[in-house]
Amino acid sequence: MNYRHSYHAGNFADVFKHIILVALINALKQKDKAFCYLDTHAGVGMYDLKDPTTQKIKEYENGIEKILASSNPPKLIQDYIDCVRAAHAANHTNCRYYPGSPAIAQHLMRPQDRAILTELHPDDFKLLKNNFHYDKRIGVHLQDAYQGLKAFLPPKERRGLILIDPPYEKPDELADLSAILAHAVTRFETGIYALWYPIKVIQPVERFYKAVKQNISRPMLRIELSIYPENSGTQLNGCGILIINPPWKLEEELQPVIANLWETLSPTKQGRYEIKMV
Ligand SMILES: C[S@@+](CC[C@H](N)C(=O)[O-])C[C@H]1O[C@@H](n2cnc3c(N)ncnc32)[C@H](O)[C@@H]1O
């Protein structure tokens, strides 16, 4: 386990993922009934953009920094900016701290909602625990993500969102995920699942969707944003999120938002974006 998210905190992929996370939690909050948020690869929850690891490549410069500088963003992006600003306020500083997925969820959760965070890296787990131990709504576990899916699904609330955000250190990790997702869906059929994946080249992604369609018969939304052409296997050209059981009208809500993100984040207007039911 070599991956450390602090190298990438606040980059275009984080922005894309976290805006969709805000949309999904907002949708769950349309009803008063409590929901459970399971974050299978939680990371540390809060990132200091001045950390030497983050400063090495400064990926946030083509991510959150551009979003904060944009004018008149769509409402959903403004909601996301509010989450980021809340992280700054909580840390008494300006534009220095970036919230990870657990901190964004925490900011949006109501008293009746609950979160379960699993993280396998022992150092990251310690930081994560330190960041959230005081919040009685949040359980933090040193646990493998895929064991956690078995242990924590279905949640007692029978309403929930599962964010699966692996580091993809193994080259075949995406291929394994269709079976893992299918198994999770059999445990908790009506849950909302959001799986993030990288796009370096598109062929493995197409193979993944073929397998997912064969294994899972629930409504699914495919959302992708590439800010560079998808023809190099070496760098992160784009990324996507598969949503199983997408909330009503999510596709309509996201169309202008992802278009706006591409405009803001694609440095030379290369790449593409796409949102479609699959
Ligand atoms: C992409 S980062 C997560 C970022 C976080 N979701 C966010 O948006 O702020 C992936 C995290 O998964 C952790 N990880 C890697 N393999 C894991 C596993 N099998 N189970 C749980 N966590 C794992 C890594 O240590 C890393 O912190």
Q: Is 144 a catalytic residue?
A: no
Give the whole-angstrom CA distance, residue 202 versus residue 258: 19
Q: For the ranges 92-96, 98-102, 146-150, 153-157, which has the lowest average pLDDT? A: 92-96
- Indicate the top mutation candidate among 4, 7, 20, 119 to test ligand 1's pocket, ranked by most ligand atoms within 8 A of CB: 119
Contacts 24+ apart (CB under 8 A), 54-60: 54/6, 54/7, 54/9, 54/10, 56/7, 57/7, 57/8, 59/7, 59/8, 59/9, 59/10, 59/11, 59/12, 60/9, 60/10, 60/11, 60/98
Q: Point out the ligand 1 atom lying closest to the alpha carbon of residue 103.
A: 9
Alpha helices in the chain (DSSP H): 12-28, 52-57, 64-69, 75-90, 101-108, 122-132, 145-152, 173-187, 203-215, 250-265
Q: Which one from 124, 165, 172, 176 is the annotated catalytic residue?
A: 165
**Position 44, amino acid:** V
CB 257 within 8 A of CB 250: no
For residue range 110-154, what is the model confidence (pLDDT) as tens digits?
Answer: 999 999 999 999 999 999 999 999 999 999 999 999 999 999 999
Q: Point out the ligand 1 atom lying closest to the alpha carbon of residue 8.
A: 1
The domain tally of the chain equals 1
CATH number where 180 lies: 3.40.50.150
For residue range 215-230, what is the model confidence (pLDDT) as tens digits?
Answer: 999 999 999 999 998 8
Give the whole-angstrom CA distance, residue 37 versus residue 112: 12
Ligand 1: centre distance to CA 198 (Å): 14
Q: Is the CB of 118 under 6 A from ligand 1?
A: yes
The model carries a pTM of 0.97
- Range of the structural domain that residue 72 is part of: 5-277
Average pLDDT over residues 151-180: 95
Q: Is the CB of 167 under 6 A from ligand 1?
A: yes
Q: Is the CB of 3 under 6 A from ligand 1?
A: yes
Q: Is the CB of 168 under 6 A from ligand 1?
A: no
